[in-house]
Amino acid sequence: MRLTALPAFQDNYIWALQAPDGRTLFVDPGQAQPVLDAVAQGMQPTAILLTHHHDDHTGGVAELRRHWPQLPVFAPEDERIGLECERVGEGARASLPGFDFTVLAVPGHTRSHVAFHGHDHLFCGDTLFSLGCGRMFEGTPAQMLASLQRLAALPARTQVCCGHEYTLGNAAFARHVDPTNAALQRRQKEAQDMRSRSLPTVPSLLSDERACNPFLRTSAAPVVAAIAARLGRAPEDEVEVFAELRRWKDGFRA
């Protein structure tokens, strides 16, 4: 299968997963035009997957449905997604000829956020980013940490297909937290090279995220030590490590 990141807005990606015969899944189309342009180049819309209700991930669906009224849409169980679609939650399957994804409930960024895992790809919206994670608009630190740990437990070869191009900003923070991490240093240089050539820095491999992403390393000694230094004491548990790490990131300026 061929994976393409379609740029949208300032830093969003709409993901297109294309089968050899041209049939294509589109993930989180916040704008319709990038999808229409891709279709003009030969992609054939088969279905849409939505990870959460935010408009920059759903805003293009209505226009796409005007072009393809019967196009299936798989979306979380959330009344804020005001579309006719198949509602999916934990353990459900998004299955079509040639495509089969397992749905994972990953609350934290929003209360109803889901991720889709299949074909060695993880479409995780705004839960897990390359070298970072999403803000907690509706969930708790415990929920978000549990969601990230679920994603981190997927096979190492999984390609992490997140919703935004945030890698360089996340790398700057991650280096601040974990400055001696050699894998992180390599990943930052790689991302800088990719962006200098106007290439997406994602998808990333889950194995790299486990090695580099501080939000997946909340039990690692360097990350715990960095949080202890901020708190002036040892953190009570891993949830407190994560909560303080996210608070730190929220106010961080490179």
Active-site residue list: 52, 54, 56-57, 109, 126, 164
Q: Is 254 exposed, middle or buried (0-12, 13-18, 19+ CB in 10 A)?
A: exposed
Burial class (CB in 10 A: 0-12, 13-18, 19+), 3: middle
Helices 167-177, 221-231: inter-axial angle, 10-degree rounding: 80
Q: Which of 200, 84, 75, 184 is nearest to 125 (CA)?
A: 75
Residue 9 sits at the vertex; the CA angle it makes with 20 and 245, to the nearest 5 degrees, is 95
The answer to whether the beta carbons of residues 49 and 94 sit under 8 Å apart is yes
**Sign of torsion, CA 150 153 166 200?**
negative
Q: What residues pair up with 121 in beta bridges, in sequence order?
A: 118, 159
